[in-house]
Structure 1
Amino acid sequence: MRDDLQQTLVLIKPDALKNSLTGYVLSQFSEFHTGLTFAGTKVVHVTRMLAEEHYAEHRGKVFFPALIEMITGHLHYPGEPDKQRVIAIVYKGPDVIRKVREICGPTNPHVARDEKPGCVRSLGTVVALKDAQGNIVGDRMDNLIHASATPEEAEREIKLWFRPDDIPPAIRAFPTVHSEACFYYKDGRLFENYEPGTVCVLAPGDVAWESDLNTLKAFAEGIPTDSSLQGVVAKYLLNRKVSLSW
């Protein structure tokens, strides 16, 4: 990959939006200061499907439910669906992953304040998680921002949150193909023909990440794959009314 096409995913989380820090965060990543540029950006109503795929490595941990409630906006905007959103950004440029994470600072906001005062996450906080009896069982880090940690993670996360059409063709970092078939989704299952209640994910002529299309074909043909169907489908259902309960 060309050095100037290196990309990473940044999420401005609901806690940052709640505290009106969007402008501040964007200013820290300005092209003038960092040499990085936008490849794609959008406002996302985060579905449970997308949230669980994004944090899949933490599934089963005590703080997993709190992570899902946080990234979907339910913790910071309870009962306000019009405010439950995340700003998703793809940045590109030389050494982009390291540069972005340097600006973000350590994951734990308390550590960030001690070790890197002035970084974005130094403005966050740590919230204790309690069980039904009031005992502290863990914590939730309201650290304002997410940034991919490795090139492999960046590719997975960009493909999870962004469709190819969300990014201009000249600056897409990963291979794309045109679908030659229809794929529909409903209740955790993939269909190749329309059935009542299904939602179209891809139609002939639609542009898809090559890896996504390979995954859909594997599911359609019953071929075992380590890839997640929901990990492919989630982004195609974003900001669509049908996806709000998924």
Structure 2
Amino acid sequence: METTLIFLKPDAVQRGLIGSIVGRFEAKGLTFVGMKLMNVPKDLAEKHYAEHQGKPFYDGLIAFVTSSPVFVMAIRGVNAVAVCRTLIGATNGQKADPGTIRGDFGMSGGYNMIHGSDSLESAERELALWFDDGELATIDKTLDQWVYDPSDLK
């Protein structure tokens, strides 16, 4: 099992898409182990996007993600990082495949509604930034026996 960080950016929250997007992860069979709606402090945004510092879009990205609340999720499942990235789709909504979150709801590359960790290492780093120790729940879902073949869990 992997745990990954997903957050819905200000455009998704302002457009009222939280429920529609959350439902896609839930319907896939993934487990939510942490969720919160929050305003992003500038220092957290800067830490999260530190790898982009100095790039032409950096200042605009920081201003955007701190402009309005975001909805933050810790999602667990087998291969959760890759599965979530597939559900999210390509960065630019105009180029994202239909059936993905960005493909169905997005029309922009900059206002792309959602962030998903791009690797297990990134997920671990990002989860530690966004969630304090003890904030993530431990859940034993009996439903998992209907989501995963036992061989998936080895």
Alignment TM-score > 0.5, same fold: yes
In the TM superposition, residue 14 of structure 1 has moved relative to its aligned partner by 0.5
2:107 corresponds to 1:111:
no
8 Å CA contact 1:10–1:88 kept in 2: the answer is yes
- Normalization by structure 2: what TM-score? 0.84
SS in structure 2 of the partner of residue 49 of structure 1: helix
Distance 1:61 1:144 in 2: 20
SS in structure 2 of the partner of residue 17 of structure 1: helix
How many pairs are equivalent? 138
Alignment-derived partner of residue 65 in structure 1: 59
Distance 2:83 2:40 in 1: 26
Q: Which runs of 5+ in 1 are unaligned?
A: 74-83, 127-139, 172-246
Higher strand share: 1
8 Å CA contact 1:7–1:90 kept in 2: the answer is yes
2:96 corresponds to 1:100:
no
In the TM superposition, what whole-angstrom CA distance separates every residue of 1:198-243 from its partner, at most 9, and x where no partner exists? xxxxxxxxxxxxxxxxxxxxxxxxxxxxxxxxxxxxxxxxxxxxxx
SS in structure 2 of the partner of residue 146 of structure 1: strand
For residue 162 of structure 1, what is the amino acid of its counterpart? F
In the TM superposition, residue 99 of structure 1 has moved relative to its aligned partner by 1.1
In the TM superposition, what whole-angstrom CA distance separates every residue of 1:133-159 from its partner, at most 9, and x where no partner exists? xxxxxxx61110000010000000000
2:35 corresponds to 1:13:
no
Alignment-derived partner of residue 189 in structure 1: none
8 Å CA contact 1:104–1:145 kept in 2: the answer is yes
In the TM superposition, what whole-angstrom CA distance separates every residue of 1:68-99 from its partner, at most 9, and x where no partner exists? 111112xxxxxxxxxx2111100001111111
Distance 1:89 1:14 in 2: 14
Q: Which runs of 5+ in 2 are unaligned?
A: 140-154
Which one of the candidate residues 106, 111, 115 is aligned to 1:124? 106
For residue 98 of structure 1, what is the amino acid of its counterpart? A
Supply the RMSD in Å over aligned alpha carbons: 1.3
2:88 corresponds to 1:88:
no
- Normalization by structure 1: what TM-score? 0.54
8 Å CA contact 1:39–1:91 kept in 2: the answer is yes
Distance 2:107 2:41 in 1: 24
Distance 1:7 1:165 in 2: 14
8 Å CA contact 1:125–1:141 kept in 2: the answer is no
The within-5 A match list for 1:47-196 is 47-73=41-67, 84-112=68-96, 116-122=97-103, 123-126=105-108, 141-168=110-137, 170=138
In the TM superposition, what whole-angstrom CA distance separates every residue of 1:105-161 from its partner, at most 9, and x where no partner exists? 01122221xxx11311122233xxxxxxxxxxxxx6111000001000000000010
SS in structure 1 of the partner of residue 37 of structure 2: strand
Task: Look at both structures and tell me which one has the larger radius of gyration over its CA atoms.
Answer: 1
8 Å CA contact 1:54–1:160 kept in 2: the answer is yes
Distance 2:98 2:76 in 1: 25
In the TM superposition, what whole-angstrom CA distance separates every residue of 1:154-207 from its partner, at most 9, and x where no partner exists? 000000100012113x46xxxxxxxxxxxxxxxxxxxxxxxxxxxxxxxxxxxx
Distance 2:114 2:70 in 1: 10
For residue 23 of structure 2, what is the amino acid of its counterpart? S
Alignment-derived partner of residue 20 in structure 2: 24
For residue 117 of structure 1, what is the amino acid of its counterpart? P
